[in-house]
Amino acid sequence: PPGVIRILSMLIIVMCIAIFACVASTLAWDRGYGNGIFGGYPYGGSSFGGFGTGYGYGYGYGYGYGGYTDPRAAKGFLLAMAAFCFIASLVIFVTSVVRSGMSRTRRFYLIVIIVSVILGILVFIATIVYIMGVNPTAQASGSMYGSQIYTLCSQFYTGATGLYVDQYLYHYCVVDPQEAIAIVLGFMILVAFALIIFFAVKTRRKMDRYDKSNIL
C-alpha cells in the first residue's frame, strides 16, 4: 500500500499540471471580453445588452445575477484547487520516497487521510462549479434567462453559424476539448484521492496487526 500511495500521488501531480495547461489555454477568451469589443463582459454583472448591437439580442440582463456562475471565477477556483492538490501530493510523494521516520508512522497516514478527504471534497466542488461555469446552458436550464441563453448560443449548437463566427462568443457557448479534459481530470483526481484514502487506511490496519516496522 505505501508504494501504491506514492504512485497515486505522482499521478495526481501529473494530472494537476495537465489541468493547469488545459484551463490556462482558455483564459485568453475570457480576457478578450474585457476589451470593450462587444460592450462588456457577458457575465459578472455587466449588461448583456452589449451583444445587442452586433447580434440583435437586446436582453440587457446581468450575467452573475440569479445565482449564475462566473466562468472566470470557476476557472480560478479549479486552478487554485489544482495548485493545492499539486503541493499536497508533492509533499506526500517526497516524504514517502525519502522514507523518513515520519513516513513509517500511523500519524503520517492519518494526516494523509485527512488531507485527502478535504482536498477530494474541494476538488469535487471545484469541478462541478467549473462544469457550470464553462457550460452556460447547464446553469440556465429552468431559469428565467434560459431561453435567452439558448437563443444566443443556438447558432453554435445547431451548426448554423453563418458566414461570420465570433470566436469569443463561440468559446463562451461551446465547451472546448481542453475544458472537457480538465473536467475529466478533476474527477480522476477525486478518484485518486479516494484510492489514497483506501490504501492509507489499509496501511494503518497493517501497522496495528503486524507492527509498523514490518510494513515496508
Q: Are 28 and 87 in contact (CB under 8 A)?
A: no
The pLDDT of residue 148 is 65
Helix (H) or strand (E) holding 66: strand 63-66
The pLDDT of residue 164 is 52
Q: Residue 37's CB: how many other CB atoms inside 10 A? A: 12
The pLDDT of residue 62 is 37
Digit-coded pLDDT (tens) for 186-196: 999 999 999 99
The answer for residues whose C-beta is within 8 angstroms of residue 53's C-beta and 6 or more apart is 38, 39
Rounded Cα gap, residues 33 and 39, in angstroms? 8
The pLDDT of residue 139 is 61
Residues β-bridged to residue 62: 47
The answer, yes or no, to whether residue 204 has pLDDT greater than 60, is yes
b or e along 140-158 (b: 16 or more beta carbons within 10 Å of the residue's beta carbon)?
Answer: beeeebeebbeebbebbee
The pLDDT of residue 132 is 83
Digit-coded pLDDT (tens) for 129-174: 898 888 776 665 555 555 666 666 766 655 554 545 566 666 777 7
Q: Are 149 and 140 in contact (CB under 8 A)?
A: yes
The pLDDT of residue 42 is 45
Report, as an integer, the average pLDDT of 75-95. Answer: 93
Least confident of 19-28, 52-61, 91-100, 132-141: 52-61
Digit-coded pLDDT (tens) for 33-82: 444 333 344 444 333 333 433 333 333 333 444 456 677 888 889 999 99
